[in-house]
Amino acid sequence: PHHPSEKPVIHCHKCGEPCKGEVLRVQTKHFHIKCFTCKVCGCDLAQGGFFIKNGEYLCTLDYQRMYGTRCHGCGEFVEGEVVTALGKTYHPNCFACTICKRPFPPGDRVTFNGRDCLCQLCAQPMSSSPKEATCSSNCAGCGRDIKNGQALLALDKQWHLGCFKCKSCGKVLTGEYISKDGAPYCEKDYQGLFGVKCEACHQFITGKVLETIFLRGRVSVCTYVCDGYRPSVQKLRTRAKRGRVSER
């Protein structure tokens, strides 16, 4: 018979057997010391750190290997304080100027030129008319005030690090971008919206555009070809007949 003074039997969450002697409690579950192990490698978790993922208990190494985020700067896994900029994650000391390699101080402004992130000292020689903190303190992306966090400088505007996105698809711009009317676009969307296709290869032209014009009285027939493509005059004339026609 059960007596009111008797303590309820505690069962190990892993093996299901009653727990006697030393018992480890994790959240609302109880374990034998020997049963509290990593789901993947089976190492003892009672003496070290662990993570919980989908109800499973994992050691630090296996959690990082399966679910961890690596620093874009050094390639090591990141824990604790991190910096997220342009869709990439960094240790605070690894988010550094491309030229001088110095980490960006907290609250400093970061200039992004479409390829590199630069500190203010390294960015000044590249600008013909550097602008010192005269621009709005509001983020050009979300419109909210940029307070103590780091700000990204691009297109003569300030942005939160996570707000510099393609105007069309909304994805964070992580590399080179193309601007149109003061707004940034990824290359794919820019070409889809504003790009010019080569009449020779039918691909979008990303470099120089060679515009060939044949005049026929008051009508000009234009064709666009890649700068590296050099067709014969006869071929150009043939393509021009299928090209763009505009009144002069």
Residue 158 domain boundaries: 69-162
CB 211 within 8 Å of CB 222: yes
pLDDT, position 125: 62
pLDDT, position 215: 46
58 and 77 belong to one structural domain: no
Residue 3 clears pLDDT 60, i.e. is over it: no
In 3D space, the residue among 124, 87, 119 whose CA is nearest the CA of residue 101 turns out to be 119
Residue 51 clears pLDDT 60, i.e. is over it: yes
Residue 196 clears pLDDT 90, i.e. is over it: no
41 and 80 belong to one structural domain: no
Beta bridge partners of 222: 213, 244
73 and 146 belong to one structural domain: yes
In 3D space, the residue among 211, 228, 224, 220 whose CA is nearest the CA of residue 246 turns out to be 220
Mean pLDDT along residues 201-229? 53
217 and 190 belong to one structural domain: no
54 and 118 belong to one structural domain: no
pLDDT, position 38: 93
pLDDT, position 246: 39
In 3D space, the residue among 167, 173, 222, 217 whose CA is nearest the CA of residue 199 turns out to be 222
Boundary of a domain, candidates 6, 32, 67: 67
83 and 148 belong to one structural domain: yes
80 and 156 belong to one structural domain: yes
| b/e 15-45 (16+ beta carbons within 10 angstroms → b) | eeeebeeeebeeeeebbbbebbbbbeeeeeb
Q: Considering only residues 180 and 124, tell me which one the structure prediction assigns the higher pLDDT.
A: 180
Q: Is residue 2 part of a domain?
A: no
In 3D space, the residue among 165, 155, 146 whose CA is nearest the CA of residue 87 turns out to be 165
34 and 93 belong to one structural domain: no
Residue 89 clears pLDDT 90, i.e. is over it: no
Residue 241 clears pLDDT 70, i.e. is over it: no
Total count of domains within the chain = 4
pLDDT, position 146: 77
Q: Is residue 14 part of a domain?
A: no
> What CATH number is given to the structural domain containing 129?
2.10.110.10
Q: Considering only residues 47 and 206, tell me which one the structure prediction assigns the higher pLDDT.
A: 47
pTM of the predicted model as reported, rounded to 2 decimal places: 0.47
175 and 116 belong to one structural domain: no
Residue 88 clears pLDDT 50, i.e. is over it: yes
Return the SS3 of 126: helix
